[in-house]
Homo-oligomer: A and B are copies of this chain.
Amino acid sequence: MTTPQPRQEGRWTRRKNARPAELLAAALDLFVDRGFAATRLDDVARRAGVSKGTLYLYFESKEELFKAVIRGGLVPAIERGERMVEGHTGSLAELLEKIILGWWQEVGNSQLGGIPKLMFAEAKNFPELARFYYQEVISRGYRLLGRVLDEGQRRGEFALVETDHATRIVLAPLVFLLLWRHSFDVCDSRRIDPETYLRLHMSLILDGLRVRTMVPAAAHVG
């Protein structure tokens, strides 16, 4: 205390600034792994290498910590998707594929993939948080996808569909895959292979969307 500690002080300062990020990373890990209620702040603190009391220096409560975790999670990924759409040249089917597979690589297959499950699980208990997540992530994702579908219809590449519902149907199997992998996957004897699953989904959905010159073998919609 009386002697100068040049090295320690340097490290200390760095730690001090890095603290919130470290806490959020630890919290993300545990929230994703166990859910909100089952995550103990003791464990979050231990994983971040601080004491439990320290958490309260940075976050007012467990709920606020949770909110902070969510806020920092998915928005950047959405933004990359938006840039991908804006810069695209080529068929819309190609773009749809790029988006879906890219989303899988960046979000689905990473730590972030646990967040959507978390949000579905807790949305009802944290309405304010749900609203935030809906505005910052969900609605932007749908808007992004909607633009692709709209443009495809405008160009005549896709059949005419009700865009709002179609985007949800396109996304549903992706969301479902995420939820599955963070819930029942361990119980499942016939594990889903994500690559195969996603390719099949794209194949089916593009068949459904694509404009055809000939009617299929059996007419469905009279």
A binding-site residues for B, Cβ under 8 Å:
33-35, 37-38, 91, 93-94, 97, 117, 119-125, 127, 130-131, 133-135, 138-139, 157, 161-162, 164-166, 168-169, 171-173, 175-177, 179-180, 182-184, 186-190, 192-193, 196-197, 200-201, 203-214, 216-218, 220-221
Contacts and interface: CB of A to CB of B under 8 A. Distances in A.
State the majority secondary structure of interface residues on A: helix
A165 to B, nearest CB: 5
Contacts of A216: 207, 210-213
Nearest to A213: B217
Report how many copies the assembly holds. 4
A70 to B, nearest CB: 13
Contact of A200 (B165, B176, B210): B165
Nearest to A208: B204
